[in-house]
Amino acid sequence: MAKIGRDFRLKRQMAPTFWNIKRKESQFVLQVKPGSHPRRRAYPLGIIIRDVLKIANTMHEAEIIVNAGKVKVDGIIRRDIHFGVGLMDIVELVPTGQAYRFVPKDSRLLVPVSIKDDEKLKKLIKITSKAVIRQGKLQYGFHDGKTLISDQKMSVGDTCLVQLPESKINEHIKFQRGSTVLVTSGENAGGIGKIEDIRDGIFSLPKHALVSFAERSVELPVEIVMTVGSQRPIIGVD
């Protein structure tokens, strides 16, 4: 009889390069289930517990921890080891209260950064889509799959500081000259700089931002640049 259902395993050698796993052990590792983040830009929660934070020695132990409701992602208890954790997501260990924000760092796509208690429920999300719906209201889509309806006028590329878990907008950061930005992927991933200029794209070249770092300036596609504050990051991202 044919197998029913989907196999959520991934060949270890095919795992994204940023995953902090041993490449020469068993043949398979967990795969991220479809969800808020693209699979190639997210960690399965089980891998985070076992390999990244090293709270468990085996995947069986990691599954017990997750199933027991001892892990929150963005303020909500998650009980699926395949649940995807991506850019700016916050993983909290319920028994200890320790929390980590996953951010790009040192050219790596996702690295856990320990955060303070007062930042556990604060998250930066980038606007990736905007649409007018009924009664002229605006619906915004964000990089982590969230959608919000708001009367506030914002633009694609801007960033919002939201209160978790309800995703209430606390602050709006415009994507404009002078804003402080975080590079989210590529060889400059994790770099924090200032926008010097924004250059419109043409048919063969996407819209770019000229970002200045301490000793140099780099022109980057706006898709991999995220505003995190005006003068400085408004929450910890490094």
| Contact criterion met (CB below 8 Å) for 140 and 126 | no
| Contact criterion met (CB below 8 Å) for 77 and 71 | yes
Rounded CA-CA distance 15/22 in Å is 11
* Other Cβ atoms within 10 Å of 161 Cβ, number: 18
Question: What confidence score (pLDDT) does residue 6 get?
Answer: 59
| Contact criterion met (CB below 8 Å) for 62 and 42 | no
Q: Which of 188, 129, 119 is nearest to 154 (CA)?
A: 129
Q: Which of 226, 82, 204, 62 is nearest to 160 (CA)?
A: 226
The position carrying tokens 């020469």 is: 24
How many angstroms separate the Cα of 4 from the Cα of each of 7, 8, 16, 19, 65? 9, 12, 27, 29, 27
Rounded CA-CA distance 24/192 in Å is 34
The first and second tokens of residue 17, run together, are 């390069």
Instruction: Kindly report the length of the chain.
Output: 238
Rounded CA-CA distance 89/86 in Å is 6
Question: What confidence score (pLDDT) does residue 79 get?
Answer: 96
Question: What confidence score (pLDDT) does residue 2 get?
Answer: 46
Q: What b/e sequence results for 41-59 when a residue is b if at least 16 CB atoms lie within 10 Å of its CB, and e otherwise?
A: bbbbbbbbbbbbbebbeeb
The position carrying tokens 């940023």 is: 18
pTM of the model: 0.89
Question: What confidence score (pLDDT) does residue 143 get?
Answer: 96
Question: What confidence score (pLDDT) does residue 7 get?
Answer: 59
What pLDDT tens digit does each residue of the chain (238 aa) get? 444 555 566 777 677 777 777 766 766 778 888 888 988 899 999 999 999 999 999 999 999 999 999 999 999 999 999 999 999 999 999 999 999 999 999 989 999 999 999 999 999 999 999 999 888 889 999 999 999 998 889 999 999 999 999 989 999 999 999 999 999 999 999 999 999 999 987 777 788 999 999 888 999 999 999 999 998 999 999 8
pLDDT in tens, 206-229: 889 999 998 889 999 999 999 999
